[in-house]
Structure 1
Amino acid sequence: MSTAVPTTDAPVSHADPFALDVLHDPLPFQSALREAGPVVYLNRYDVFAMGRYEQVHAALTDWQGFQSAAGVGLSNFRYETPWRPPSLLLETDPPHHDAPRAVLSKVLGPRALTKLRASWMVDAEILVDQVLDAHTEFDAVSALAAAFPLRVFPDAVGIPDAGRENLLPYGDHLFNAFGPVNSLVEKGAPRVAELSGWVNAQCTRDALSDDGFGAEIWAAADRGDITHEQAPLIVRSLLSAGVDTTVNGLAAVLYAFANNPLQWARLRENPSTLAKTAFDEAVRWESPVQTFFRTATSDIDIEGTEIPSGRKILMFLGSANRDPRRWTDPDAFDITRNPSGHVGYGMGIHQCVGQHVARLEAEALLAALAARIETIEPAAPASRHLNNTLRSWESIPVRITRR
């Protein structure tokens, strides 16, 4: 932690965006950040920050100026050794980023979604029937938002059933580790070796089924599209980034509907058209991935403020997605809004490669719910799960009435 006085004319903030109270409710901090200016210096961590949509979007799409290869967390890989091999998707830039991205884009492309669509719709209906047959009040996080991705996505990747309970704790620590070494990181540290070892073991060719995404990645290595050394790291990217973000996106949309009955009524009237839009609006409104870092590759001038070469820039995706300069009534969840252009999945060449898979999971779950329940409302106050990077829920108690 640094309290150095910057050699910059950027506004200075003494706030700690990773303080537990800010992580619990980041909206006041984000509003102050946006109002302070297009670039703000966070002296606690000696980094620059952006909270407005225009600058965040521009930085995300400028990989030449705002580097990912130095790490998308607070640690600067130019000077620090990462605790795990860097992600070939998130933490590389062209040309090293190109082949892994191309392979994964094909593996998760339209053909894969067409193949999965019918079975995932059925899986969602089975899960929802099981939940609703047993309860009219339940925790929407554990019963639906976590249960459905953990039911279908590991199957699609091709990992065995045993040990899947490790996926969420591993992802929780991974996303915590993008921030500073605070109590959240320290809490997960004792299990890092165990969880990392389990995840790495699932990425080997022998551990994977013959008909999943993982097998297709290894087949791409056999063709020479990627190296055999890269294959397990790409499978790992699916397991580390493909579960937690979707779980929190689904939790966000369920929380949003439980607290906005008019929006739920609108969805029920036209679920086939509005389900995908509703999920994207929830991702904009709640922003499951709140922050990512970049590193300046040269001295960069932004609105008259110079960010020196090699310095870290913290981009607040959640703040950009609620910037009133870009969005009308940004704090409202409105499924009639066009949320396209939100940065909840990132933007540019590092935009989430699995976003269409997440949308399909959401479409399947929301369609099953819309066909079966009349109303959904809070049954008790919801509670947050704090994470340095993710906007997460611990519990969302809901009460439903069936159709």
Structure 2
Amino acid sequence: MTKTDVGPVPRLDFDPFAPDVRSDPADFQIALRRAGGLVYVPLHGIYATGRYAEVRAAFVDWQSFESSAGVGILNYKKQRQWREPSPLIEADPPYHDATRRVLSRILSPRALRVLRDRWFADAETLVDELAGRTSIDAVTAITRVFPLRVFPDAVGIGVEGRESLLPYGNHGMNTNGPRNDLVRAEEERIARIQPWIDAQCERSALSPGGFGAQIWAAADAWDITARQAALAVRSLLTAGVDTTVNGIASVLAAFSRFPDQWRRLREDPSLVRVAFDEAVRLESPVQSMCRTAVRNVAIGDAVVPAGEKLYLSIAAANRDPRRWTQPDVFDLTRDPSGQIGFGMGIHQCVGQHVARLEAEALLTALVRRVSSLEAAGPAVIKVNNTLRTWDSLPLRLQW
């Protein structure tokens, strides 16, 4: 079967990576879901799905849809990648398994308990610094501040150079799309940052007791190789900051659009974790991931041919009305536990508990002090090939 021999697969003449689509993806998501359970996107020569059941099933079926060929539209088995693949998200069993086991243990909810009091205290300190300010830009005042304070400390890297983590993570997510203007504009800068990132992954750069040192201890115990250890630390530095930054921005943006839900949270602060997961469902900080079919794989009555890329629209699936009632509404009475914003299956985000703990700390500190939270102006989206991210999020607060 060839790309032109697609049988009943409908064509979708949308560019999922066009700047206007990345800025406001709602029309694309609706068109993708309506077109069918599987569509062909001729502009990029890829297959795509945006329905909840199909996206979830593809994530779970790692035997049919591999990650080692890359989780973007480039096929790592045919095209040169910009850096050495991750042993976690760009790998399949059995190579994937050892690194996953190590990070799952280090980043488990039980292991994170030792950080809880410290992160909650850090969140209180940040909110104290903001107290009395009735108008803020949440991006510059909160979402890009708190994760860069607490997470690199937990990994065990120094303070100098941390400002490089966000552009590096942003570029990594951009490279999951085509080599368009977004990618080309950052390549020279990222080439300068890369040596610093690589240096932070080495044992000598990491403070004792942190996530990074624990990863290297696993290498000493022969659970993983030294190369896997360095790349696992790099995975934390690549995805551990920018996705959390955008996850926290997602929940604050949702509350600014639905201020009645802030009042609901004030009435019942125990809903902070529900609020974060519901915001991840609504906004999907990671909008999409790709897999590669290892053989001809049926999706409904259509087929993804062997060796072809399948674009999984997480954002479209998380708003699929087949799965969610009033999917475009931020609702703290909803059970969002089925959302797939962190992926699903063996490659489900290993750092999701870290993101949840950071968000819980911040929301708990804010909801105790801030009686109302509303939009103070239009939000500004930062265009990225994969992420839903904000350049500006003006908020009006009452203390």
For normalisation by structure 2, the TM-score amounts to 0.98
Counterpart secondary structure, 2:57: helix
Q: How does 1:190-339 map to 2 (within 5 A)?
A: 190-271=188-269, 273-339=270-336
The answer to whether the 8 A contact 2:73-2:178 is kept is yes
Give me the whole-angstrom Cα distance separating, in 2, the residues matched to 1:46 and 1:110: 40
Give me the whole-angstrom Cα distance separating, in 1, the residues matched to 2:28 and 2:344: 23
Query: For residue 31 of structure 1, what is the aligned residue in structure 2?
Result: 30
Give me the whole-angstrom Cα distance separating, in 1, the residues matched to 2:83 and 2:363: 36
Q: Is 1:401 paired with 2:393?
A: no
Query: For residue 62 of structure 1, what is the aligned residue in structure 2?
Result: 61
Give me the whole-angstrom Cα distance separating, in 2, the residues matched to 1:7 and 1:336: 42
The answer to whether the 8 A contact 1:249-1:288 is kept is yes
Counterpart secondary structure, 2:319: coil
The answer to whether the 8 A contact 2:147-2:241 is kept is yes
**Pick aligned residue for 1:390 from 374, 379, 387:** 387
Query: For residue 127 of structure 1, what is the aligned residue in structure 2?
Result: 126
Counterpart secondary structure, 1:292: strand
Query: For residue 107 of structure 1, what is the aligned residue in structure 2?
Result: 106
Give me the whole-angstrom Cα distance separating, in 2, the residues matched to 1:22 and 1:229: 38
C-alpha distance after superposition, 1:367-390 (max 9, x if no partner) = 000000111111111100010000
Shift of 1:81: 2.0
Query: For residue 381 of structure 1, what is the aligned residue in structure 2?
Result: 378
**Equivalenced residues, count:** 397
C-alpha distance after superposition, 1:339-379 (max 9, x if no partner) = 01111000000000010110000000000000001111111
Query: For residue 77 of structure 2, what is the aligned residue in structure 1?
Result: 78
Letter in 1 for 2:247: G
Q: Is 1:365 paired with 2:380?
A: no
Letter in 2 for 1:309: A
The answer to whether the 8 A contact 1:256-1:333 is kept is yes
Counterpart secondary structure, 1:13: coil
Query: For residue 343 of structure 1, what is the aligned residue in structure 2?
Result: 340
Letter in 2 for 1:218: W
Shift of 1:392: 0.5
Query: For residue 179 of structure 2, what is the aligned residue in structure 1?
Result: 181
Give me the whole-angstrom Cα distance separating, in 2, the residues matched to 1:316 and 1:182: 19
Shift of 1:301: 1.2
Shift of 1:275: 0.3
Shift of 1:5: 4.4
The answer to whether the 8 A contact 2:265-2:271 is kept is yes
The answer to whether the 8 A contact 1:378-1:398 is kept is yes
The answer to whether the 8 A contact 1:66-1:296 is kept is yes
The answer to whether the 8 A contact 1:382-1:396 is kept is yes
Query: For residue 155 of structure 1, what is the aligned residue in structure 2?
Result: 153
Indicate the larger mover: 139-148 or 98-107: 139-148
Give me the whole-angstrom Cα distance separating, in 2, the residues matched to 1:248 and 1:123: 19
The answer to whether the 8 A contact 1:60-1:346 is kept is yes
The answer to whether the 8 A contact 1:6-1:41 is kept is no
C-alpha distance after superposition, 1:154-207 (max 9, x if no partner) = 000000000000000001110000100111111111112112211111110011
The answer to whether the 8 A contact 2:123-2:146 is kept is yes
The answer to whether the 8 A contact 1:256-1:282 is kept is yes
Indicate the larger mover: 343-352 or 179-188: 179-188
The answer to whether the 8 A contact 1:5-1:43 is kept is no
The answer to whether the 8 A contact 2:6-2:303 is kept is no
Give me the whole-angstrom Cα distance separating, in 2, the residues matched to 1:380 and 1:142: 15
Structure 1: 5+ residue stretches without partners = none
Counterpart secondary structure, 2:37: coil
The answer to whether the 8 A contact 1:65-1:298 is kept is yes
Shift of 1:265: 0.5
- Root-mean-square deviation (CA, aligned residues, Å) is 0.9
Letter in 2 for 1:101: R
Letter in 2 for 1:240: T
Give me the whole-angstrom Cα distance separating, in 2, the residues matched to 1:91 and 1:323: 27
Structure 2: 5+ residue stretches without partners = none
